[in-house]
Amino acid sequence: MTKYTVVNTRPETAAEAAQREWFEKQVLASPDRLEEAARLIIGLVTGLVGLLYGVLALESEKLPAYLQLPLVRGLGVVTVVLLVLALLEALIVVLPLRLVAASARPKTQAAAFADMLRRKSAALTLSVASFAVGLVTLGAVLIIALVTVA
């Protein structure tokens, strides 16, 4: 067995202790923040899909002039797909999954926690990306609709 020699030790300073405690709190608060962000995206997507349906709403039997354009139809479909995808990805973040970790083994607990954070972070990243591109396509639909109506 290898023997190690401790060369120098010193007690932790108050600033170092405060910084360590702050980081520990941030790590434990990360899942809550990820879930809050996902819930925000869920609410925004729901509202934007309602707005998109309002823009694409069919009044009477005649389609609005802007709906005759294949570009508006195509962008409308892409927008709906992206926003629904963002919604599904955000739901993955808030979906409760069972974590298996031995209570007497901190390393398995840390690995399970890291796996949960990785899953939630990846799903939220994909959700934000889908939401952002969907928002851009929604903006394009709205601009085209406004330009053709005027």
Question: CA-CA distance, 69 to 50, in Å (whole number)?
Answer: 21
pLDDT, tens digit (0-9, with 9 covering 90-100), for 94-130: 887 777 777 777 788 788 888 888 998 999 999 999 9
Quick check: is 5 in a domain? no
Q: Distance of alpha carbon 16 from its chain centroid, rounded?
A: 32
pLDDT, tens digit (0-9, with 9 covering 90-100), for 56-80: 665 556 767 777 788 888 998 899 8
Q: Give the number of other CB atoms < 10 A from CB of residue 149.
A: 9
- Identify whether the C-beta of residue 56 lies closer than 8 Å to the C-beta of residue 65: no
Domain coverage including residue 130: 32-149
pLDDT, tens digit (0-9, with 9 covering 90-100), for 29-45: 778 888 888 889 888 88
Number of domains in the chain: 1
Quick check: is 9 in a domain? no
The pTM for the full model equals 0.70
Residue 99 in 3-state DSSP?
coil
Quick check: is 27 in a domain? no
Res 131: pLDDT:
92
Quick check: is 136 in a domain? yes
Q: Give the number of other CB atoms < 10 A from CB of residue 103.
A: 7
Residue 119, token pair as written in the block? 């899953």
Quick check: is 133 in a domain? yes
Quick check: is 143 in a domain? yes
Quick check: is 1 in a domain? no
Quick check: is 23 in a domain? no
Res 132: pLDDT:
95
